[in-house]
Amino acid sequence: MRVLLANPETSRSFYDFAGIIDDEPYELECLQAHLKGKGIEAEIWDGQSDKDFRRTFTDYKPDCVYFCGRTRQENFIKEYCEYSSNPVSWTKSGKVVTVVGGIHAQNCPERFREDYIDYIVSTFDPSAVSDIIEGKAPEEIAGISWNDGGIWHVNGKVPYDITEMPWADRTNFYRYGAKYCYLELRPIAVIRTAFSCPYSCAFCYRNRLNCHRYTARDIEDVVNEIESIDCENIYIIDDDFLVNILRLERFIGLIKERNIHRKFVCFGRADFIAKYPHVIKKLAGIGFYYILTGLEYIENRRLNDTNKRNNVNTNVRALRTCQENGINMMGMFITDLDFTAHDFGNLYKWIRHFDLKHVAISIYTPEMCLENFEEYKDRLITQDPAEWDYLHVVAKPEKLSVRRYYFHYHILLIRLFLRAKRQGVYDFMDYKAFIKSFLKNLFRFGG
């Protein structure tokens, strides 16, 4: 059996972060390691670094294709599955089995119930995929759905213990390493040390993953893997790496003991940063360069509504802690659907006042897998999953027309970008191309 593990492109327009933030397909690399361990030949096709799926499909001649991706990749996953399942595309005499897994399939498996898809995997357990490939009876494989002549059967969802996951096979990373980056950190290798998140913020689906079960790797194993990666930048993609103080202290100790020198990027909550400034100082000392923090809002009433268990004062203390220790906080904000022009302006003023240099602004996007999605169903202005990228307005704003909302959103982005340019924050990028693209979007979406 030859298996093609595929991660489709995230967008076919330039309305994304391609070339600015590009992760290696870590999930597929772990799956590849698992399959190779079982004696199954597997290759990776990463749509971020190679745009031609059909050529790879024809050259590689797979017996099975496995796709993973997020909501915004749904259309591409379906397009490639349909292509792969069409006998005209087959390069061998037998049928090509189509399997869809990954985060979006785990959260919304029903969206992939199509004639041309054979299996949907709703678990992080890579054995589900190897069992399918090895021809095990689907009734005996936990965490999957399968297509039985147009009738879909479901075999539940099962949590997975991340300590069972093999280290990623980095063949793909070393081949395309230079393409993978987080802003100016290039190349950057990805590592995951935990699945899911122990918190329960109302707007977020990450805590739902792995059947709501937070599971973390032994930190010594994590450090062993980091030590083995030939790359000076490491992106820890846990939804929240700053969870367990003892585990973190052990991590710091091991990195120091082994004299490992890397620049690190991780996600971390503001309340942890504010509570443990001495740990943040130590993290800075071992090379933590960016901490990506969901600040979300600049008003307590909005924060309270999200069940973030945080407040503006804590956000400010966290930001100050990072600034004092020379760590770049990437402050992530949400523009709510009830935002007015005033709210967009206030957000800019807040960011400028506290001298936050790195900022990411997401438009509030109701997640398809959350209970509150029903509340937004009547307000949706698009059904296209490609727009679930946090850069599009997908539900009708409350106080502004869609065009005016986009107008203020893009004005905010342009102001932030020009400010960043003055401060030299993004000097590694082609400023002109970005400003042109912002202006284009301003006229395309609103104005």
The only residue of 117, 121, 191, 204 in contact with ligand SF4, by rule CB under 6 A: 204
Nearest distance from C-beta of residue 102 to ligand SF4, angstroms: 17
Tell whether residue 266 is a contact of ligand SF4 (CB under 6 A).
no
The only residue of 9, 240, 271, 336 in contact with ligand SF4, by rule CB under 6 A: 240
HSE, side-chain direction, 13 A CA sphere, residue 239: 20
Tell whether residue 367 is a contact of ligand SF4 (CB under 6 A).
no
Which C-beta is closer to ligand SF4: that of 194 or that of 223?
Answer: 194
Which C-beta is closer to ligand SF4: that of 102 or that of 294?
Answer: 294
Which C-beta is closer to ligand SF4: that of 197 or that of 395?
Answer: 197
The number of residues that bind ligand SF4 (CB under 6 A) is: 11
User: What is the rounded distance in angstroms from the CA atom of residue 126 to the CA atom of residue 166?
Assistant: 9
With contacts defined by CB under 6 A, name the span among 111-119, 204-212, 275-283, 404-412 that binds ligand SF4.
204-212
Strand partners, 361: 333
Tell whether residue 40 is a contact of ligand SF4 (CB under 6 A).
no
Tell whether residue 207 is a contact of ligand SF4 (CB under 6 A).
yes
Tell whether residue 280 is a contact of ligand SF4 (CB under 6 A).
no
Buried/exposed 265-274: b ≥16 CB within 10 Å, e otherwise: bbbbbbbbbb
Tell whether residue 78 is a contact of ligand SF4 (CB under 6 A).
no
Strand partners, 66: 5, 99
The only residue of 78, 111, 269, 282 in contact with ligand SF4, by rule CB under 6 A: 269
Nearest distance from C-beta of residue 414 to ligand SF4, angstroms: 27
Closest CA to 383 of 393, 399, 394, 375: 394
Which C-beta is closer to ligand SF4: that of 104 or that of 269?
Answer: 269
The only residue of 9, 27, 131, 239 in contact with ligand SF4, by rule CB under 6 A: 239
The only residue of 25, 143, 294, 331 in contact with ligand SF4, by rule CB under 6 A: 294
Which C-beta is closer to ligand SF4: that of 67 or that of 203?
Answer: 203
Tell whether residue 206 is a contact of ligand SF4 (CB under 6 A).
yes
The only residue of 5, 162, 201, 222 in contact with ligand SF4, by rule CB under 6 A: 201
- Long-range pairs for 281-286 at CB < 8 Å and ≥24 separation? 281/325, 282/249, 282/252, 283/248, 283/252, 283/325, 283/327, 284/325, 284/326, 284/327, 285/252, 286/252, 286/255, 286/256, 286/260
Tell whether residue 303 is a contact of ligand SF4 (CB under 6 A).
no
The only residue of 81, 197, 229, 347 in contact with ligand SF4, by rule CB under 6 A: 197
Buried/exposed 152-170: b ≥16 CB within 10 Å, e otherwise: eeebebbbbebeebeebbb
What is the binding site for ligand SF4 (CB under 6 A)? 197, 199-201, 204, 206-207, 239-240, 269, 294
